[in-house]
């Protein structure tokens, strides 16, 4: 990374630690010198680290996509990417690159899963599930989903009608359960 991309505080700290001045012009000349390229090669060789390349970017993208199948948080996905690059002895890219690739991988996987679910449900199933989230004419301004996720009341004689309605709702939902489970299992393998 060229010195103009390094925060001033980091440059100042390193200069203080090695008891030198932090001359930006001197650093700029070093960035453009052949000495810098030779030093990088020597450091990489000593550490046994490979340059971040097209091959490592492909490995990173594949890893991040696989991680996105089981992780939702970008930080968790990034950590898995860092771990695989370190394990394969690749130089780490900028943090911004890691975050951007993790978000792209998560987005692509989420879109693929959504499309699989949409396809498995079909138009009828999708319409049924969509209807669960429409408030409609309910004066309480809640959707059927809100009612569905509520705990059941005690089964008294007066509440038996409500329990039968709830049973019918759950039975209708269970028709899609097997289909969704099959789609989920094929997504993770």
Per residue in 15-57, pLDDT tens? 899 998 888 888 889 889 999 999 989 999 999 999 999 999 9
Query: 89 near 48, Cβ under 8 Å?
Result: yes
- Residue 9 in domain: no
- Residue 39 in domain: no
Domain that holds residue 162: 132-187
Choose one of 120, 141, 158: the last residue of a domain.
120
Residue pLDDT, tens place only, 99-152: 999 999 999 999 998 898 888 888 888 888 888 888 888 788 888 888 778 877
Are 54 and 89 contained in the same domain?
yes
Q: How far is CA 110 from CA 5, 10, 25, 57, in A?
A: 33, 38, 47, 21
Which of residues 153 and 89 earns the better pLDDT score? 89
Choose one of 74, 98, 120: the last residue of a domain.
120
- Residue 8 in domain: no
Residues 157, 162, 165, 171: what is their CA dihedral angle, to the nearest 10 degrees?
-80
Are 139 and 115 contained in the same domain?
no
The total of structural domains in the chain comes to 2
Are 55 and 89 contained in the same domain?
yes
Distance in Å from the first CA to the final CA of the chain:
38
Determine the pLDDT at residue 169.
78
How far apart are alpha carbons 154 and 39 in whole angstroms?
Answer: 75
161 pLDDT band, cuts 50/70/90, is: confident
Query: 71 near 77, Cβ under 8 Å?
Result: yes
């Amino acid at each position: 990374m060229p010195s103009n991309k390094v925060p001033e505080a980091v440059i100042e700290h390193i200069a203080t630690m090695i008891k030198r001045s932090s001359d930006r012009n001197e650093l700029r000349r070093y960035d453009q010198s052949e000495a810098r390229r030779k030093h990088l090669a020597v450091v990489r060789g000593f550490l046994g680290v490979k340059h971040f390349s097209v091959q490592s970017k492909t490995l990173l993208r594949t890893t991040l996509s696989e991680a996105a199948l089981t992780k939702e948080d970008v930080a968790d996905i990034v950590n898995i990417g860092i771990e695989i690059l370190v394990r394969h002895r690749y130089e780490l890219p900028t943090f911004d690159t890691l975050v951007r690739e993790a978000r792209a991988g998560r987005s692509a996987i989420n879109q693929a899963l959504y499309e699989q679910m949409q396809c498995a449900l079909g138009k009828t199933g999708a319409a049924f599930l969509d209807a669960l989230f429409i408030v409609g004419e309910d004066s309480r301004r809640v959707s059927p989903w809100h009612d569905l996720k509520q705990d059941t009341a005690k089964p008294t004689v007066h509440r038996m009608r409500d329990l039968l309605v709830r049973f019918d709702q759950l039975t209708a939902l269970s028709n899609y359960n097997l289909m969704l489970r099959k789609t989920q299992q094929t997504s993770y393998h």
